[in-house]
Amino acid sequence: MESFSLRMERKILYENSYGFCGVIEMENKIFAYMRISTNHKTQKTDRQKQAIIEYSICNGFNIDEFISDTITGGTKADNRPNYHNMKKQFRNGDTLIISDIDRLGRNADDVIVEIKDLQSKGIRVVALDVPFLNDWEKMNDDSLSKMIIDIFVTLKAHIAQQEKEKIHDRVMQGLDVAKKKGKKLGRPATGVPKEFIKEYNKFQSGEYGSISVVQFAKLQGIAVSTFYKYVGILKGK
């Protein structure tokens, strides 16, 4: 049985045939979103859905809608068709439940952008794998929810920055080793688009997850042969 606090109401003004405005009271909805990667063909949404159902039972509420996408993890949240359509349904005070926080983005930066966007629209985000973000009672308290989200975003951004610095340090160490070995270094040869270089660096650092070369090339809108051509140029082969 759902407690009164869990089924919050929103009021919508309407104009009737006599020109008078009235108020329609509508209950806020609770959405559950699941994403599985096309890179893992044996993976199913069952695990995510079961975890969310068990969570809802333990906390005494029902899920209004289950939404899922089967799409590569390298795709931004807003570019996932079912997620995008779900966001169009959101109203201030609605709740989004996910089993894992990484369902919201390709990497830490995407997750931060997405969770801040949802927060700005008045959407509560409950992530079962994140401490405090999985506390149903706290996340249904407006002031506590905002504070928890703000702390999470700050920590996530800090961790993301640390990872970027580690990657930068590894690259610099690699360049230093290459110089000592007498390998010729310099600006990438012409013919390789700057956008490819940028995305390829992300691919190399693991920001695209475990996608294959074929999938990465498809995301960039190029042939696999072109991918290897660009990489060969970048490596000076």
Mean pLDDT score, 116-141: 89
Q: How confident is the model at residue 124, as a pLDDT?
A: 92
Band the pLDDT of 169: cuts 50, 70, 90: confident
Q: What DSSP string runs through 1-34?
A: ---GGGS-EEEEEEE-TTS-EEEEEEE--EEEEE
161 has a pLDDT exceeding 80: no
Q: How confident is the model at residue 87, as a pLDDT?
A: 93
Q: How confident is the model at residue 190, as a pLDDT?
A: 57
213-231 pLDDT, tens digit each: 888 888 888 988 888 888 8
Mean pLDDT of the chain: 79
Burial class (CB in 10 A: 0-12, 13-18, 19+), 15: exposed
Report percent pLDDT > 90 for the chain.
24
Higher-scoring residue by pLDDT: 65, 130 = 65
Closest by CA to 51, choosing from 114, 124, 129, 116, is 129
Report percent pLDDT > 70 for the chain.
76
Q: How confident is the model at residue 2, as a pLDDT?
A: 42
Band the pLDDT of 44: cuts 50, 70, 90: low
Amino acid letter for position 136? W
157 has a pLDDT exceeding 90: no
Band the pLDDT of 8: cuts 50, 70, 90: very low
* Helix, strand or coil, per DSSP, at residue 88: helix
Number of CB atoms found within 10 A of residue 231's CB: 16
153 has a pLDDT exceeding 70: yes
Q: Which helix (H) or strand (E) holds 163?
A: helix 142-180
